């Protein structure tokens, strides 16, 4: 896939026009393409994103305690959610990648897409300040906020398992689709969950979608780990 980077199109997709347009170029440039890449902007954007989402959740859920707020924030700022948001705005077409990364399908890689979203947040913060980055994040997360529920967040085994891993400095859980049986709406997914370095081994779960199967396998891992 050849990059279709176009500054005007990127501005339209993100609903933001940069004063310093070179920041967009840097934010979309992966380290495989140049030494002037988006890693520092990604670091900055990650911090800004955490703050904005934390404040939004604090105001939206006055009845939630610290642990509940932390779990909801983790579900919103994790790599899977960020990559999904990047795909929703067709960001993949505008990534600036090195030839090797381009050939290996880097534009589809969730980690690259997630990092690029964070870098764009960092770029907007530097360009327009906190208010501009806050407005951009709220626009980007509009649908996520609309469907967010405290009850759903508390029932999310993937979020709880990720929090468990991070609190113990363990690798993040990995999920692999082992099989898909059936056709159309009758499909049943089997997903295996494992955490590298743990001796507990892998566990599996089933569901009518990949997401539900991942949640099921995460729940099984929590049980195996003895996490309430």
Domain co-membership, 20 together with 117: yes
Reported pTM = 0.67
Say which residue, 90 or 132, is predicted with more confidence. Answer: 132
Residue 139 CA from chain centroid, whole number: 16
Tell me the pLDDT band of 1, cut-offs 50, 70 and 90: very low
Tell me the pLDDT band of 153, cut-offs 50, 70 and 90: low
Q: How many helices and strands (H and E) does the chain possess?
A: 12, 3
Say which residue, 2 or 47, is predicted with more confidence. Answer: 47
- Hey, what are 54's tokens? 């934390």
pLDDT beyond 90 at 39: yes
Active site residues: 46, 118
133 assigned to some structural domain: yes
Domain count, the chain: 2
Residue 66 belongs to domain spanning: 7-154
pLDDT beyond 80 at 121: yes
Domain co-membership, 116 together with 23: yes
Domain co-membership, 48 together with 141: yes
**176 to 86, 129, 227: CA distances (angstroms):** 22, 40, 22
Domain co-membership, 30 together with 123: yes
Distance, CA of 15 to CA of 148 (rounded, Å):
23
pLDDT of residue 111: 84
Say which residue, 155 or 125, is predicted with more confidence. Answer: 125
Q: Residue 118: name the closest of 129, 108, 133 by CA.
A: 133
Tell me the pLDDT band of 31, cut-offs 50, 70 and 90: confident
Domain co-membership, 53 together with 128: yes
Domain co-membership, 173 together with 90: no
Domain co-membership, 122 together with 150: yes
pLDDT of residue 70: 84
DSSP conformation letters of 43-103: HHHHHHHHHHHHHHHHHH-TT--HHHHHHHHHHHHSHHHHHHHHHHTTGGGG-B--HHHHH
Q: Give percent of the chain above pLDDT 70.
A: 93
As a whole number, the mean pLDDT across the chain is 86
pLDDT beyond 60 at 19: yes
pLDDT of residue 2: 47
Domain co-membership, 17 together with 126: yes
Residues 186-209 have a mean pLDDT of: 86
Angle, helices 79-88 vs 110-128, to 10°: value is 80
Least confident of 36-50, 104-118, 120-134: 104-118
**28 to 47, 126, 219: CA distances (angstroms):** 18, 15, 36
Domain co-membership, 145 together with 179: no
Domain co-membership, 115 together with 207: no
159 assigned to some structural domain: no
Own/partner long-range contacts of 142-148 (Cβ < 8 Å, ≥24 apart): 144/76, 144/81, 144/85, 145/56, 145/60, 148/60, 148/72, 148/76
Tell me the pLDDT band of 182, cut-offs 50, 70 and 90: confident
């Amino acid at each position: 896939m050849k990059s279709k980077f176009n500054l005007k199109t990127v501005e339209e997709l993100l609903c933001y026009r940069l004063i310093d347009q070179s920041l967009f170029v840097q934010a979309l440039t992966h380290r495989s393409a140049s030494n002037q890449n988006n890693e520092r902007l990604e670091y900055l954007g990650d911090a800004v994103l955490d703050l904005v989402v934390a404040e939004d959740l604090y105001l939206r859920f006055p009845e939630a305690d610290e642990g509940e707020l932390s779990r909801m924030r983790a579900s919103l700022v994790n790599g899977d959610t960020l990559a999904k948001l990047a795909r929703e705005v067709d960001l993949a077409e505008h990534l600036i990648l090195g030839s090797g990364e381009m050939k290996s399908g880097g534009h589809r890689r969730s980690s690259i897409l997630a990092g690029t979203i964070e870098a764009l947040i960092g770029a907007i913060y530097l360009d327009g300040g906190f208010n501009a980055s806050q407005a951009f994040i709220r626009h980007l997360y509009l649908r996520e906020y609309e469907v967010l529920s405290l009850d759903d967040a508390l029932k999310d085994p993937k979020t709880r398992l990720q929090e468990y891993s991070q609190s113990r400095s363990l690798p993040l859980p990995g999920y692999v689709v082992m099989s898909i049986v059936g056709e159309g709406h009758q499909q049943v997914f089997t997903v295996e969950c494992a955490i590298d370095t743990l001796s507990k081994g892998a566990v599996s779960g089933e569901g009518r979608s990949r997401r539900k199967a991942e949640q099921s396998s995460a729940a099984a891992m929590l049980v195996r780990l003895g996490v309430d």
